[in-house]
Amino acid sequence: MSDQAIRKIVIVGGGTAGWMSAAGLARLLGAACQITLVESPEIGTVGVGESTLPTLPYFNRTLGIDEAEFMRRTQATFKLGIEFKDWGRIGNRFFHGFSDFGPLVHGRQPHLSWQRLAREFKDMPPLEEWSITAMMARKQRFLPPLELVPGMGPAYAYGYQFDAGLYAAYLREYAVQRGVRRVEGMINEVEQHPETGFVTAVKLRDGQRVEGELFIDCSGFRGLLIEGVYKAGYEDWSAMLPCNSAQAVPCARKEGITPYTVSTARPAGWTWRIPLQHRTGNGHVYCDGFTTDAEAGRLLLENLDGEALGEPRQLRFTAGRRRKSWIKNCVAIGLSSGFLEPLESTSINVIENAVGWLVQYFPDRGFRPELADEFNRLVSQRYEYVRDFIILHYKINDRSDSEFWRYCANMPIPDTLRHQIELFRETGHVMIYDLQGFREASHLSIMQGLGLQPKRYDPMVELLDLRHLQAHFWNLRKAIERAVDGMPDHAQFLQKQAAA
């Protein structure tokens, strides 16, 4: 039987997606496969994804990366979640943290019991006070995860806030040290097998020819291979996610470094604030149908914490995904596969997922179509689950101060999301489609934070002893307070453990 193992992989494009793919494959395949990455300095990267989910620490650990070194090299800070301001209504504020609201209560989610207590006692503290990451963020404390309740596992998780350009450069060094060959140049021709249609090589403007058996398209929005060659098609979600523009600009860092990202709703979108060790990242995501670029830039610059370190950088995009991310021997990862605005810091997580699924369903040179079908199913579902979660932030709102927010309140939404909203509104239960993505606590943080309150309560909770419920929540709240008060200040911990 002939050897069908893939021996040559070509990655088209660098940036975060390209070098995460190269690093992950180099770590797993070692010398068994020659990996070549082609990138051009003439093509810029988006490079504004400076905030992550708690999955990136696991990705880094899989690569064997030392966290302290990574944080020094990327000017990173720790992230406990996102603070939302003016979402739902002007003056509103809530926190989406990377923790739940305590252990199950008699086998049921704790928020169901909290809802009963909040109904019985008007002075019941808000549910957010049972999220340890929300309390850590409020007091700007940080310590790696601990067990709040013995035997229950880590009580919370954390992500990072870092310079995406520095992260790509760090992974490039990592990958090259492990045998990845970097070729610099502009691709001006793609060669295909005359019978199968498989990509066989890319030719550069300087005449170089790079052959491969598996091609990974990390070429960004243009999708050089997946769209340019294979015409995968694009599913446009702009009717449900109308934001199509962004401006980004760093500013000088003020004193103190918050362990969380801030998202503030604006008349035609939202702004972000991401604190790094050496600067603060800022941006304005908006719909150009409801404001002008000039007005969006003015609003961004007027709300910076410190002096702007340059002019705002303009970006354009259309929310959606490719209809297929794997066609023949080409796999699209990153922006070439799809784009969803960075409201919940999901861009890098989708790259992690795609790299992981490519490894899981890694082909041989036979490229069985069933592998591509399963990869496409998983990637498509992940984009749809994230899409619904982001739409949720816009749909539930009482803002009538601008045309943009009035549009969002009335816009069509997927049936899957409509079911989630109605189930919570009518019963207080949270339904999750994606068990590997945002869980009950995340959906609850957003729905309740935006002001959506259930009309009815779980009848099983009515059978529980009210005094026992009170004691449970009181003891847990005290335990959270003690734990948080015993933690160091985030900036001090950062300076001690991972200062750049």
pLDDT (tens digit, 9 = 90+) per residue, 410-460?
999 999 999 999 999 999 999 999 988 999 999 999 999 999 999 998 999
For the beta carbon of residue 253, count every other beta carbon within 10 angstroms.
19
Q: Do 68 and 172 have their domain in common?
A: yes
Using the 3D structure, point to which of 343, 364, 385 is the last residue of a domain: 385
Q: How many domains does one find in the chain? A: 3
The CATH number for 56's domain is 3.50.50.60
Q: Do 44 and 172 have their domain in common?
A: yes
- Place 154 in a pLDDT band, splitting at 50, 70 and 90: confident
Residue 217 has pLDDT above 80, yes or no: yes
Q: Are 419 and 425 in contact (CB under 8 A)?
A: no
The Cα 499–Cα 71 span in angstroms is 7
Q: How much is the average pLDDT of 114-123?
A: 92
State the greatest distance between any 2 C-alpha atoms of the chain, in Å, as a whole number: 78
The Cα 343–Cα 396 span in angstroms is 15
**Exposed / middle / buried, residue 269 (Cβ in 10 Å: 0-12, 13-18, 19+):** buried
The answer as to whether 464 is a domain residue is: yes
Q: Do 375 and 278 have their domain in common?
A: no
Q: Which residue has the higher pLDDT, 498 or 375?
A: 375
The Cα 37–Cα 266 span in angstroms is 40
Q: 8-12 and 34-39 as β-strands: parallel, antiparallel, unpaired? A: parallel
Q: What is the pLDDT of residue 497?
A: 85
Q: Do 298 and 425 have their domain in common?
A: no
pLDDT, one tens digit per residue, over 317-332 is 999 999 999 999 999 9
- Place 254 in a pLDDT band, splitting at 50, 70 and 90: confident
- Place 150 in a pLDDT band, splitting at 50, 70 and 90: low
Using the 3D structure, point to which of 385, 405, 433 is the last residue of a domain: 385
Active-site residue set:
79
Q: What is the pLDDT of residue 457?
A: 86
Q: Do 323 and 312 have their domain in common?
A: no
The Cα 438–Cα 351 span in angstroms is 16
Q: Do 179 and 40 have their domain in common?
A: yes
Using the 3D structure, point to which of 341, 369, 385 is the last residue of a domain: 385
**Exposed / middle / buried, residue 407 (Cβ in 10 Å: 0-12, 13-18, 19+):** middle
What is the overall mean pLDDT for the chain? 94
The answer as to whether 494 is a domain residue is: no
Instruction: Name beta bridge partners: 388.
Output: none
Q: Do 176 and 27 have their domain in common?
A: yes
What dihedral do alpha carbons 316, 322, 325, 326 form, nearest 10°?
-130
> Percentage of the chain with pLDDT > 70?
97
Q: For tokens 């008007």, what's the residue?
A: 122
The Cα 310–Cα 315 span in angstroms is 15
Q: Map residue 209 onto helix, strand or coil.
A: strand
Q: Are 19 and 176 in contact (CB under 8 A)?
A: no
Residue 336 has pLDDT above 70, yes or no: yes
The answer as to whether 105 is a domain residue is: yes
Q: Tell me the CA distances in angstroms from 466 to 114, 117, 180, one per residue in order.
A: 11, 8, 62
Q: Map residue 350 onto helix, strand or coil.
A: helix
Q: The sheet that has 199-204: what strands, in order across it?
A: 187-192, 199-204, 209-211
The answer as to whether 200 is a domain residue is: yes
Q: In the structure encoding, which two tokens stand for residue 454, read together?
A: 């259930």
Q: Do 37 and 147 have their domain in common?
A: no
The answer as to whether 425 is a domain residue is: yes
Q: What is the pLDDT of residue 155?
A: 82
- Place 147 in a pLDDT band, splitting at 50, 70 and 90: low
Instruction: Give the dihedral sign, CA 121/122/124/126.
Output: positive
Q: Do 188 and 310 have their domain in common?
A: no
Q: Do 209 and 149 have their domain in common?
A: no
pLDDT, one tens digit per residue, over 338-362 is 999 999 999 999 999 999 999 999 9
The answer as to whether 493 is a domain residue is: no
Q: For tokens 């990974």, what's the residue?
A: 216
Q: Are 391 and 413 in contact (CB under 8 A)?
A: yes
The answer as to whether 253 is a domain residue is: yes
The Cα 140–Cα 81 span in angstroms is 12
The Cα 370–Cα 372 span in angstroms is 5
Q: What is the pLDDT of residue 151?
A: 62
The answer as to whether 492 is a domain residue is: no
The Cα 174–Cα 20 span in angstroms is 10
The Cα 31–Cα 177 span in angstroms is 12
**Residue range(s) defining the domain that contains residue 381:** 8-77+162-235+319-385
Q: Are 159 and 349 in contact (CB under 8 A)?
A: no
Q: For tokens 């969006």, what's the residue?
A: 296
pLDDT, one tens digit per residue, over 364-385 is 999 999 999 999 999 999 999 9
For the beta carbon of residue 125, count every other beta carbon within 10 angstroms.
14
Q: Do 231 and 166 have their domain in common?
A: yes
Q: Do 21 and 72 have their domain in common?
A: yes
Question: How many residues would you count in the chain?
Answer: 500
- Place 1 in a pLDDT band, splitting at 50, 70 and 90: very low
pLDDT, one tens digit per residue, over 78-89 is 999 999 999 999
pLDDT, one tens digit per residue, over 14-57 is 999 999 999 999 999 988 899 999 998 876 665 555 899 999 99
